Structure 1
Amino acid sequence: LTSFNENTTIYQPFGFFIMGFQGLKDTNYYFMFLGILYIGTLLGNFFLMMVIWQSEALHTPKYMVVLNLAKSTISNHQELQSRPTKDFLFNSQFVPYNLCLTQMFFIHSFHTIESYSLVILAFERLVSICFPLRSSTIITNTRMVGIIAFCWVLAFTLLATMVALITRLYFCKPIPVVVSYFCDHGPVFKMACSDNTVNWRITSLSLIVVIFLPLAFILASYVCIVIAISRINSAEGRWKAVRTCTAHLILVAMFFMPILVIYTIAWINITVDVNTRILNTSLSLVLPALLNPIIYSLKTEEVMEQIKKLLRKHVIRPKQYF
């Protein structure tokens, strides 16, 4: 579809060329490194999911959210790492228009679900520590399923709207160049030659409901948690309450801090070096996903205990027959 405006040809493009790194040598090694991290992410999260699935003691609202976080992480990185890594390693950086929008939808949707999963975990910790006697009735497995389902619907609705608004834009080139390493929403709509005011507004809304509001809720919940912990008379009880929050706080810091910096800079329209942006975005999305199962395995006593039980059941016992 083309039209003419002040001697400029306007296109709905055939597809997009993903720029990737600029001026850096041997970037293939970096994408190979991301591919290795992707494999580690899959193995770690599948292992954590298997432990939760196999252990009835972990069939609780808290670990339903951890399971949901692992699922969204695997789904996100299947889109975020496997395809871009393959494209750059094999010099296939052209992405057809519809495939680009599909990739954009799923990557940002699952990333949004990861953010909401951290919010739900903060809510679960808040209820468990501030209302310990009523927590089992306030948050049941059924209610947790409903909360998780609502977050998925909200994420998909938000991203479907954002992607749909991309389709109304026109570009000055039949194959625009995306300044990123995947079909990122911001770099795509900013290249449009047509009016993208609505896209800016929906992007601002998404930053609020995906980054700022979730982070504000998490920080507020931990203010309440700290107050509740300070009222516990037993030092052992206080330490136990703190330990139950450690894994979650580490994940919150790893997830929100890099993204908060890079997306806030993009929101206020400050130009960032392409290579810096790609490095920040890729590592901030990959490392938390890789460390998530490690942190929940090594920093959580319940999970470690269930891992030991599964090992004794499936590894140690069979050897006794030989």
Structure 2
Amino acid sequence: MDNFSIYTTYLTLESLDILPSNIVPAFIFGTLAYCAILVFNMSVMLTIALNRTLHKPMYVLLFNLPLNDMVGASAFFPQLVSSILSQNTSITYSACFVQALLAHVYAAGSLLVLSAMAYDRYIAICCPLKYNTLMSPNNLRNIIIIIWTIDFTAIGSLLALTYRKEICSTKIVDIHCNNPSLIKLVCGDTKLNDYYGLFTIVFFSGLSLLIVAFTYIQILITVVIKRQSDAKSKAIQTCGTHLIVFLCLQLCGLFALIAHRFEAAPPNLRKAFDSSALIFPPVINPLIYGLKTKEIRQNLFFTIRKSSIQNKQ
């Protein structure tokens, strides 16, 4: 195909193939889902921010998770519901690039935050006497800075390699923009993109998997050695929810990766897998942490009751 200048070109996203009679219900459902994600995640963030009893390393790290989830949801839902209502799947290259950047920042950020949370639980359960030293405010701040620095640097470099002045196609093979879809538009050799993309997948997924596996094995060993029912209960309560969230994110990412790597995968299956990582974790995370974490649940209900009483007065 003839080369296209990215500064004057609109890209075409894959259509959802929604029947005319289902356009309005789909738009309403998508809008409500996005609003629910924002409300749920903001509730967790405000609960942590407004209650001093939750200003602990575990909850400070957790604060970054709903923030990151809202970034991912905001990269996906506004463009989606807009295209559903207008039945127009066109998007500028720059807007597509930003959407892909935010989507990948969200995915990598989720793995890094969950890894940091696993490390925090490992120190709390396996090395309780060193917890205040290892998770001091300065160390905690450095961990958070390192998380976001690695995230933006690695993902920014990944997308920078894909950004070209000219492309040879205008068709995005997914319902939202991502790096694999943008690479398929590029003219010429993309081996460097493929190698670096594979490196980022191995780095983020592999690193997080190693950290979580190591910390959970150590926690399990500690609990078995102590043979204390309270230790077992604490480990199950604090680590069970974290493991569910981590496995959900890893499985969603794995399914999306498989769908992209195999060209023979059905388009509808690729759409479902590719979108799942941007839909399910932001919905599930605040519900799991908000309902299953006792301190957050209690403080959330207390904050709601306090606001209700103040409004009545």
> TM-score with structure 1 length normalisation?
0.88
Distance 1:76 1:265, change over 3 A: closer
Q: What amino acid maps onto 1:19 in structure 2?
A: E
Could you say which residue in structure 2 is the equivalent of 1:143? 139
Question: Take 1:263 and 1:169, find their aligned partners in 2: how far apart are those partners?
Answer: 27
- With over 3 angstroms needed to count, the CA separation of the structure-2 counterparts of 1:93 and 1:244, relative to structure 1, is same
Given residue 173 of structure 2, which amino acid in structure 1 is its aligned partner?
Answer: V
1:251 deviates by 0.6
* CA deviation profile, 1:194-224 (whole Å, cap 9, x unmatched): 1111110111011112222212321222111
CA distance in 2, matches of 1:167, 1:234: 55
Letter in 2 for 1:50: L
Q: From the superposition, tell whether residues 273 and 30 of structure 1 become closer, same or farther in structure 2 (CA, over 3 Å).
A: farther
Corresponding residue number in structure 2 for 1:11: 4
Matched with 2:296 is 303
Partner SS state of residue 129, structure 2: coil
> SS of the residue aligned with 1:16?
strand
Q: Does 1:178 align with 2:172?
A: yes
SS in 1 for 2:226: coil
Residues 177-202 of structure 1 deviation map (CA, whole Å, 9 limit, x = unaligned): 10111111102202333111111011
Q: 1:188 aligns with which of 165, 179, 182?
A: 182
More off after superposition, 123-132 vs 27-36: 27-36
| Structure 2 segments unaligned to the other structure (5+ residues) | none
In the TM superposition, residue 65 of structure 1 has moved relative to its aligned partner by: 1.2
Pair 1:317–1:90, CA change in 2 (3 A): closer
Partner of 1:314: 307
Offset at 1:307? 2.4
CA contact (8 A) 2:13 2:171 kept: yes
For 1:88 and 1:311, locate their aligned partners in 2 and report how far apart those are by CA, in whole Å.
Answer: 35
* SS state at 1:281 partner: helix
> What is the SS of the residue equivalent to 1:9?
coil
Q: Does residue 1:274 correspond to 2:267, yes or no?
A: yes
SS in 2 for 1:85: helix
The answer for unaligned runs of 5 or more in structure 1 is 1-7
Q: 1:227 aligned to 2:230?
A: no
Percentage of identical aligned residues:
23
Aligned residue for 1:5? Answer: none
Does residue 207 of structure 1 match 2:174? no
- Structure 1 CA distance, aligned partners of 2:85 and 2:39? 22
Conserved 8 A contact 1:162-1:202:
yes
Match of 1:4 in 2: none
**What TM-score do you get using the length of structure 2 for normalisation?**
0.91
Separation (CA, whole Å) in 2 of partners of 1:308 and 1:32: 28
Is the 1:169–1:193 contact (alpha carbons within 8 Å) kept by the matching residues of 2? no
Check the 8 A contact 1:10/1:171 in 2, yes or no. yes
Distance 1:214 1:191 in 2: 31
User: What SS does structure 1 have at the residue aligned with 2:177?
Assistant: coil
The answer as to whether partners of 1:171 and 1:194 remain within 8 angstroms in 2 is: no
RMSD, aligned α-carbons: 2.1
- Match of residue 260 from structure 1: 254
CA distance in 1, matches of 2:70, 2:40: 10
- Give the Cα–Cα distance (whole angstroms) in 1 for the partners of residues 306 and 168 of structure 2: 63
Residue in structure 2 matched with residue 3 of structure 1 by the alignment: none
SS in 2 for 1:178: coil
**Cα deviation, residue 125, structure 1:** 0.8
Structural mapping, 1:237-256, within 5 Å: 237-256=231-250
Corresponding residue number in structure 1 for 2:62: 66
How far 1:165 sits from its partner (Å)?
Answer: 1.2
Is the Cα contact below 8 Å between 2:255 and 2:273 reproduced in 1? no
Cα displacement (A) at 1:312: 4.6
In structure 2, the residue corresponding to 1:177 is in which secondary structure? coil
Paired residue total:
309
Aligned counterparts of 1:9 and 1:90: Cα–Cα separation in 2: 29
CA change 1:253–1:151 in 2 (3 A) is same
Contact kept? 2:162, 2:186, Cα under 8 Å: no
CA distance in 2, matches of 1:241, 1:165: 43
Is the Cα–Cα contact under 8 Å of residues 20 and 278 in structure 1 kept in the other structure? Answer: no
Deviations 1:259-311 (A, max 9, x none): 113214534x4432111111122233212111211111211111122224334
Is the Cα–Cα contact under 8 Å of residues 69 and 281 in structure 2 kept in the other structure? no
Distance 1:83 1:225, change over 3 A: same
Q: Distance in 2 between matches of 1:264 and 1:120?
A: 27
